[in-house]
Amino acid sequence: MEDVNLEEFLLKYDFRKTKEDNIFLTKVIRICLDTLGENDWIYFGIYYFDSEEKIRKRLRLILNEKVLKQNISHYYYDEEKEIFSIYLEDRN
């Protein structure tokens, strides 16, 4: 995958989900951390009905800068579980 860090990817990913009766929800994704020998991940969701600037501020408030700057190795959608997973790789 082209070099894209997590922060930029999350700014482009559309977390919005609208149910019947115009109920607005946020999808949750799995972020798989690049932890050697471990199977570490976090579930993450963010209020996405706002400006990019406010979303970026929230991302930086919630997630560690080291994690935000890691590149995306690959991503995968599990249709059975309905989970979108992002895999990180630390190239430092």
**pLDDT (mean) for 26-33:** 87
Model pLDDT for residues 62-85, shown as the tens digit of each residue = 999 999 999 999 999 888 988 889
Separation between Cα atoms, residue 28 and residue 35, nearest integer Å: 21
Residue 81 one-letter amino acid: K
CA dist list (Å): 13 to 22, 36, 46, 92? 21, 26, 11, 25
Q: Assign 14 a pLDDT band (cuts: 50, 70, 90).
A: confident
